[in-house]
Amino acid sequence: MISLDDAVVAKLESHGERFEILVDPDLAAKIRQGEDIPIEDAVAALQIFENASQAERASEESLKKVFKTTEFEPIALHIIRKGEIHLTSEQRKVLTAEKRRQVITFIARNAVNPQTGHPHPPQRIELAMEEAKVHIDPFRSVEELVKDTMKALRPLIPIKFDEVRVAVRIPPDYAPRAYGEISAVAAIEKEEWQKDGSWICVVVIPAGIQTEFYDLINRISHGNAETKIIK
């Protein structure tokens, strides 16, 4: 459990009743986005309150009326997922900045300018988001925010999600190590080991990470690999 000093109130009002719990804002945000976080790690007390600031506990009658149970975990998860989480201005600022960074990184890695085939730099995406006045809710998932952000950016900059298929040949001296590193960043569509020990594969990567991918291939093979984009 977290300390009371680090906790904020998560509140849910239903059926004329109010329920509050004390939560870690970061972990509560992760739970809200679907991550499997033990509830004991995310709260400061295993109690459901009617008024947390006055330590007034919710009655069993009200819990059963609204949640059909008095068990802490399912009630707490429901409050976190469906209720309001009260953040300080600094907490909201930090969480929003981190979520904005995640959205920008995702778009920069997975989207390109269809006019050039090249990714937009993160700074360009960030400026366009500011121009479009994109609102970042720190409790929404990156997937949801990316979808809304792309919709807001399209009138301002040419942008679309795209993938690239690349054929790669790794020489024998570097092939054993290459498989693990390449499979960690790319989807291997097909592969074949040659009689001389070299490894040939076709991979699918987000168009936005082409430069990063080629840098990886060059590092693995000390510049001796062969690559070709497959149309």
**Domain ranges across the chain:** 4-85, 89-160, 162-230
The kind and range of the H/E element at 40 are helix 39-42
Q: What pLDDT, on a 0 to 100 scale, did the predictor assign at position 45?
A: 93
CATH superfamily of 4-85: Ribosome maturation protein SBDS, N-terminal domain (3.30.1250.10)
Q: Please, are residues 167 and 227 in contact by the beta-carbon 8 Å criterion?
A: yes
Phi, psi of 59 (to 5 degrees): -75, 155
**Of the candidate ranges 87-96, 170-179, 182-191, 213-222, the one whose mean pLDDT is the lowest:** 87-96
Q: Which residue has the higher pLDDT, 89 or 62?
A: 62
Helix axes 142-153 and 89-110, enclosed angle (nearest 10): 70
Question: Is residue 127 classed exposed, middle or buried when 0-12, 13-18 and 19+ CB atoms within 10 A define those classes?
Answer: middle
Give dist(CA 109, CA 86) in Å, integer: 33
Rounded to whole angstroms, how far apart are CA atoms 80 and 83?
6
Indicate the CATH number for domain 162-230: 3.30.70.240
Q: What is the average per-residue pLDDT within 68-79?
A: 95
pLDDT tens-digit map of 156-191: 999 999 889 999 999 999 998 898 899 988 999 999
Is pLDDT at 5 greater than 90 in this prediction? no
Confidence check: pLDDT of 64 > 90 = yes
Quick one: 89-160 is in which CATH superfamily? Answer: SBDS protein C-terminal domain, subdomain 1 (1.10.10.900)
Q: Angle 72-82/25-32 helices, nearest 10 degrees?
A: 80
Which pLDDT score, from 0 to 100, does residue 59 have? 95
**Mean pLDDT of all residues in 136-148:** 91
Question: Rounded to an integer, what distance in angstroms lies between the CA atom of residue 119 and that of residue 145?
Answer: 19
